[in-house]
Chain A
């Protein structure tokens, strides 16, 4: 039924590229492009700079730097119209351009993803709305991979949970409407979490509005829009706040660890050349380090951008593996590569030799990538072997497993005194708060005092922010906590309970969804828990509750871990019991609303279409992580996708990639008293 061939990923990539280039083409001649920081990376995902040059882009500036070259006549701004600081910055710079410079400028603004009323108001206030030409650049989903569509909204997490600004929900809804308009309506929307609920409501409302806009009795025009999709099975929306715990843990897959140690942004990582070697030979800057406390001059080292996506074959092999086995894989590849090289000696005939020469470029490419990843893995290994990393991990795993957190408070205090990065400390505190329903008020007070003394009093604000995000809370008073304790949730007495619980109760979910799987194998994973070496992300378990019911049931019933591949294939029952069916009571222990909505279309038309085209064997499930997803969760979803490959295709959608550090960064106060 898809009106355009190709995968969603290709489609959205093409569309974004086409849209941008058309807009650029509309500005004749050479032009300078000024792009906001949070768009510069995403733009790189679908268009190369050389292509922009072909379309007349002379130089690119960052909006935030405010250093526009005023000699170029044509100036193009590319910025988010929904982010008011950006709009103000654009207005400011346009005014500056007009004031100075003897060149009369032709200024264009491309607003992403749409032109807003507020941006109009701001430009009008600045008195420039008449002097600039304004266009819209509807940029929504950006494919990171064939199975991952991201909105790449850096601030989605802090907007949603700290500032309570639901802008990204609207943005997500618009983006999902794009998918619906391409394939038809999601026949079912399943979700967990209050924001997820709001997103679903928006989707329903937008559909209604679209229906209202579609015009009268035109069978042929609107037929597509009115029907639920035949190729899509459902949309599953998981609100990040349902499972804050998971991202606070240190990710233990290869890609996850790269993200934890050096950071991955828009599929790219900036890595010190001293680790992976420069692309060109870089003479190490040997400037005298300024302070004696600077043990190394690493700050002066150059950074190199490494592309981390499936175009690198080796990386796609490594990325989702637990780090414990990355070394093995690298060794194997190295050995294979070596033997491939050696094959040149055995080449006897000229044809064999030619064959070898033909393959040479690909060997070299592989060799290069092998070198990069070996170095990178070694660097990570150095880090993971460190005393502090092991201590942190140990505490994390204990919290996740549900041991009494107070046993570890001394260790946390030691970490504070040893001046480990603040993010690591806060992650531990938040993890404890999430996993055990808050800290004892007295403990929380002690920690606050120590952190503030150790890292500066500006972090009073950090704690307020964490509290606002409900990441770090005092344990609720006994009256309300009774509700949370598993003993107080009588089985079957569900109608007495509220439909939504204020906090996720990991304590009970640990049992009911078997979050802790001790005997998971890292080498040959049999459960998603492998991504955290024994802890299954709650978010993923929730998805499994929808997609792999029999497996979860067999897991919970106990005994050894049933082979994940056989359990779900045993019965196709999962198909016949849609939504949360069978797990309604269980998922109540997780925070926020639970819902499963069927989007009905015109029955007759659906049936007619079914008889014409027949139901496709493989349907797509869209899993949307509102507020961000971690690389480990992506790995886990891919693990599920591989098991389900014969029945469904899973496409992962999200507002952006998060990890614990980024969550903490959102809260951490950047200013200081100096």
Chain B
């Protein structure tokens, strides 16, 4: 095949050139009348969806062909899939950049077809879409906006978890045309809509609708440039305006000299607008310069961010701006170094000495020339010119001493990939820029969606990318179509995927399960190495116990809780308990959750498990929560009864304590009635009750309680001591001091009373502390401020040192006394 002229189909538009590249020919059968179809093309050279426009008259045919459908073709015209359509009038047909087809019907139902083969999810727009009906939809890469017939706008910005959301209400009036600015290019970071109503245009975002106050409406078309900076409008007089997206400045105006309103207005890159009628296309550049193309049949325009695809029955063409690098090389009369470099290759092949001469001439700028050639190779669709340019680059860098060849190598890699997917049998006419933006992973995803597994695997191996998804997709597909018996299918799949890392058998098993092949699903699931992944599917498959075990094995509490939640709603209580019974972690979690959520469940659980103490504890804590005394006592009673039959010593003790608690409550209730007119004692502990009684002077009652509850003598003494000190009842304390023996000794009396500041009374107890060493007693006297007494103590103990220390601290009569003692004690010389 003769190489095409690289300059073919160049069109000058102002300062720059545009070119139209023929990518595929003979796309559609002649009997598909494109003028009668709505067409939507997926971005990045993706698939094309065709739907018969129901408003157009039908030519009489046999019945079967009139059946409504959405046909998905590749760009080369290969029918990928046909979706039968019987769900009502389609008001929106568009694609996401993951090549998911969105179909929105008049009643606001959205169907999202993923994977090109008819799998879909659906959701409803809500927000009154059903009542008012959808008029139309506009799409961006990851969402769309629907216009309802009451001029309300509903935006969906995420398909994974769709959340239809109303934009600000907009004014009444006839909407003549509209368009949207994707969230990535707006200040509000939310989608904004341009709505041409009557003579003006409104900018609608989630919070307000702003009138841009224009006079030249009604505008028949509104179209926003790919980066959201410019807007193309068709005015009432049929002129094309290009204005900034804030409507502050107008950049150009063009008169297409046609009375007929164009069918579509799209942007070709960021600098040119394409308007199309049935068979005529105008390309309008800056300052109103234009190029015109004429066709024999209907032409459809599919916009891309770097150009437009033009689809006719005969051809798929790509119209785009000629990049600077390409222009520098191929432009007529170009003398750029890169251009010279390309020429030199020709000369070299002709063995002309001029080749070297040329190289020497451009030597200083040779590295840039090589770079330019490499870049330009990416822009070409024709392998011939790709090769020429790469050859030139290769020749150029062979002359250079030092050159980083990474770009060159990468470009060859990319071009190989591009060549493979652009093949008409695959039909992905993706440009270099689009490939860069789409990323190799997503390209492979598209291949997988087309079931081109071999190519996908080859490419991912070539690019060293993960191939596990391809295998999984393949296996899932295998599961769907295979008719053999389950064991054979499983064996086949496992054999093929053996040794491939990262394979998610869980996904394959899920497919098998969805296909109703439960046995196969179970078998496949056994090959899943990640326990956690298996759980949801196992639950679906009603393999409850295995699901629970796998969840526990994974150690992930969330999974275990999730399984338990499902099981609890699904199973009868008895079998639920049976399931968790021999799984300690599961029962611990059930217990913990039930404690805050479902006390009855807890009681049942403990009853079933025969754990009386735990059971009574639940009742006990319920008693604590009750505010009403009779009900408190009732709960306590129940708690105690639960333990009645148990012989376990700790249960026996607990039962005693629980009954003691209700006994105490009864006593306290009586005390409140007798002694206080408000609730003062109720709920106190026994010790506090006694303490308060004594402090309030009810010593007798306190004593009665002590014996009633068998409180140890020592404790009671302590309580009485502290309470009396708190009451400052010194008389009573002194009386107690007259008793011979105290079970807690007398030192506490001394300490507590001293702590309360009564040194005089404290001192009374010093001599009673008979078992303390003398020097401690000395210190005690001192603390009471009784130096003389301290002296006596020291004297009795014959402690000279202490006496001497005291001497220093003493004054007045005490000092004399001490002196006397020292003298007396001092050994006579």
User: Interface of A with B (CB < 8 Å)?
Assistant: 28, 81-82, 84-85, 114, 116-118, 121, 130-131, 133-134, 159, 163-167, 169-170, 173, 198, 201-202, 205, 208-209, 211-218, 220-221, 293, 387, 413-414, 416-419, 441, 445, 448-450, 452-458, 460-461, 464, 467, 474, 669, 671-674
- Known interface pairs A215-B466, A674-B683; A202-B712 also in contact (CB < 8 Å): no
B319 within 8 A of A: no
Judge if B736 is at the interface, Cβ distance under 8 Å: no
Number of A-B contacts (CB under 8 A): 174
Known: A167-B557, A173-B555. A671 touches B624 (CB 8 A): yes
User: Are the C-beta atoms of B719 and A417 separated by less than 8 Å?
Assistant: yes
Given contacts A121-B562, A454-B685, A457-B660, contact A169 B596 (CB under 8 A): no
20 contacts between A and B (CB under 8 A): A117-B558, A118-B562, A121-B562, A121-B565, A159-B592, A216-B466, A216-B500, A416-B715, A417-B687, A417-B714, A441-B649, A449-B653, A452-B657, A452-B660, A453-B687, A455-B687, A669-B624, A671-B624, A672-B683, A673-B665
A197 to B467, CA, bound (A): 35
On chain A, the residues within 8 Å of B190 by CB distance are 28
B 442-471 contacts with A by CB, 8 A: 464-468
Most buried by B among A170, A214, A216: A216
- Centre residue among B589, B596, B682, B751 by max chain A CB count within 10 A: B589
| A130, chain B: closest CB distance, angstroms | 6
Q: How far apart are B589's CB and chain A's nearest CB, in angstroms?
A: 6
User: Bound state CA distance, A166 and B709, in angstroms?
Assistant: 42
How far, in Å, is A424 (CB) from chain B's closest CB? 15
B502 — which chain A residues lie within 8 A by C-beta? 212-216
Complex alpha-carbon distance, A159 and B557, angstroms: 12
Asked whether any CB of chain A lies closer than 8 Å to the CB of B214, the reply is no
CB-defined contacts of A118 to chain B, threshold 8 Å = 558, 561-562, 565
B532: chain A residues at CB < 8 Å are: 209
* Contact yes or no, B685 A170, CB < 8 A: no
Asked whether B722 lies within 8 Å of A458 as measured between CB atoms, the reply is: no
Q: State A163–B530 Cα separation when bound (angstroms).
A: 27
Contact residues, B588-607 vs A (CB, 8 A): 588-589, 591-593, 596-597
Given A116-B558, A215-B467, list of 13 further CB < 8 A pairs? A117-B561, A130-B161, A164-B588, A201-B555, A211-B501, A414-B744, A417-B718, A418-B722, A453-B685, A453-B687, A453-B709, A671-B621, A673-B665
Nearest CB to that of A222 among chain B residues? B501
Q: Is the CB of B596 within 8 A of A216?
A: no
Bound form: Cα–Cα A212–B529 in Å = 7
The 7 closest A-B pairs by CB, nearest first: A674-B683, A215-B466, A671-B624, A457-B661, A417-B718, A164-B588, A167-B557
Q: Mark B662-683, 1 if CB is under 8 A from A, else 0.
A: 0011000000000000010011
Counting CB contacts under 8 A, is B348 at the interface? no
List the A side residues contacting B466 at CB < 8 Å: 215-216, 218
Chain B 190-206: CB-based contact to A (< 8 A → 1; otherwise 0): 10000000000000000
- Cα separation A28 to B500 with both chains bound (whole Å): 44
Q: Tell whether, in the assembled complex, residue A461 and residue B621 are in contact, meaning their CB atoms are under 8 Å apart.
A: yes
Tell yes or no: B811 within 8 A of A by CB: no
- B86 lies within 8 A of chain A by Cβ: no
Residues in B neighbouring A669, C-beta threshold 8 A: 621, 624
| Given known A417-B718, A461-B620, contact A671–B625 (CB-CB < 8 A) | yes
Q: Do B467 and A165 have beta carbons less than 8 Å apart?
A: no
- B530→A464 contact, CB < 8 A: no
Interface centre among A117, A414, A448, A458 (most CB of B within 10 A): A117
Contact A216 B467 (CB under 8 A): yes
> What is the distance, in angstroms, from A123's C-beta to the closest C-beta of chain B?
11
Residues of A within 8 A of B687 (CB): 417, 419, 453-455
Q: How far is the CB of A213 from chain B (nearest CB, A)?
A: 5
| The residue from B163, B650, B654, B684 contacting A133, defined by CB atoms under 8 A apart | B163
With A218-B464, A218-B466, A417-B718 already in contact, the answer to whether A166 and B500 are too (CB < 8 A) is no
For residue A456, which residues in chain B have a CB less than 8 angstroms away from its CB? 683-685
Cα distance A293–B727 when bound, in Å? 10
A453 and B556 alpha carbons, distance in the complex (Å):
42
Interface flag for B155 (CB, 8 Å): no
* Cβ contact within 8 Å between B188 and A28: yes
CA–CA, A293 and B625, complex, Å? 27
Q: Indicate which residue in B660, B709, B714 contacts A413 across the interface (CB closer than 8 Å).
A: B714
Name the residue on B nearest A81 (C-beta).
B558
Residues of chain B contacted by A454 (CB below 8 angstroms): 685-687, 715
Chain B's closest residue to A449 (CB) is B657
* Closest residue on chain A to residue B123 by CB atoms: A130
Q: Contacts A133-B163, A165-B592, A417-B715 given; indicate if A455 touches B558 (C-beta within 8 A).
A: no
Question: How far is the CB of B544 from the nearest CB of chain A, in Å?
Answer: 16
Q: Shortest beta-carbon distance, B666 to chain A, in Å? A: 12
Complex formed: what's the CA distance from A418 to B723 in Å? 11
CB distance from A51 to the nearest CB of B (A): 21
Is the beta-carbon distance between B657 and A460 smaller than 8 angstroms? yes
Other-chain contact of A163, B465, B561, B588, B718 (Cβ < 8 Å): B588
Chain B residue nearest to A158 (CB atoms) is B592
Q: Mark B479-491, 1 if CB is under 8 A from A, else 0.
A: 0000000000000
CA A441 – CA B625 in complex, angstroms? 31
Q: Which residue of A lies closest to B188 (CB)?
A: A28
The 8 A CB mask of B369-396 against A (1 = contact, 0 = none) is 0000000000000000000000000000
B711 within 8 A of A: yes
The reply to whether A165 and B557 form a contact with Cβ atoms under 8 Å apart is yes
- State whether A216 touches B501 (Cβ < 8 A): yes
Chain B neighbourhood of A413, CB < 8 A = 712, 714-715
Q: Beyond A118-B565, A216-B501, A464-B613, is A209–B624 a contact (Cβ under 8 Å)?
A: no
- Contact A674/B555 with A164-B584, A215-B501 known, Cβ cut-off 8 Å: no
CB distance from A488 to the nearest CB of B (A): 25
| Nearest residue, chain A, Cβ from B500 | A216
Determine if B555 and A198 form an interchain contact, defined as CB atoms under 8 angstroms apart.
yes
Contact present for B657 and A82 (CB under 8 Å): no
Residues of chain A within 8 A (CB-CB) of B657 are 448-449, 452, 457, 460
Q: How far is the CB of B747 from chain A (nearest CB, A)?
A: 11
Measured in the bound complex, the distance between the Cα atoms of B154 and A544 in whole Å is 66
Residue among B532, B557, B613, B715 with most chain A CB within 10 A:
B557
Partner of B562, one of A117, A130, A461, A672: A117
Q: Please name all residues of chain A whose beta carbon is closer than 8 Å to the beta carbon of B649 when the two chains form the complex.
A: 441
Q: How far is the CA of A82 from the CA of B558 in the complex (A)?
A: 7
CB distance from A432 to the nearest CB of B (A): 18
Task: Check B562 against A202 for contact (C-beta < 8 Å).
Answer: no
A418-B712 Cα distance, complex, nearest whole Å: 13
Q: Are A673 and B632 in contact (CB under 8 A)?
A: yes
* A441 surroundings in chain B (CB, below 8 A): 649
A303 to chain B, nearest CB (A): 27
Evaluate contact between B621 and A450: CB separation under 8 angstroms.
no
Q: Quick check: A414 and B661 within 8 Å, CB to CB?
A: no
| Distance from B714 Cβ to chain A, minimum over Cβ atoms (Å) | 7
Find chain B residues with CB under 8 A from A218 CB: 464-466
Residue interface bits B686-713, CB-to-A below 8 A is 1, else 0: 1100010000000000000000010110
Is B189 on the interface with A (CB-CB < 8 A)? yes
In the complex, the chain B residue whose C-beta lies closest to that of A202 is B555
CA distance A202 to B559 in the complex (A): 15
List the A residue with the shortest CB-CB distance to B719.
A417
In chain B between 529 and 554, which residues have their CB closer than 8 angstroms to a CB of chain A? 529-532, 536, 554
B658 close to chain A: CB less than 8 A: yes
CB pair A84 B561 closer than 8 Å: yes
Answer yes or no: B7 CB below 8 A from chain A CBs: no
Asked if B68 is at the interface of the complex by the 8 Å CB criterion, the answer is: no
Residues 83-119 of B, flagged 1 when their CB comes within 8 A of A and 0 if not, give 0000000000000000000000000000000000000
**Alpha-carbon gap, A302 to B613, bound state (A):** 44
Q: Which residue of A lies closest to B744 (CB)?
A: A414
Across the interface, which residues of A come within 8 angstroms of B531, CB to CB? 205
**Contacts A170-B555, A202-B555, A418-B722 hold; do A163 and B591 have CB atoms under 8 A apart?**
yes
Nearest B residue to A458, CB-CB: B624
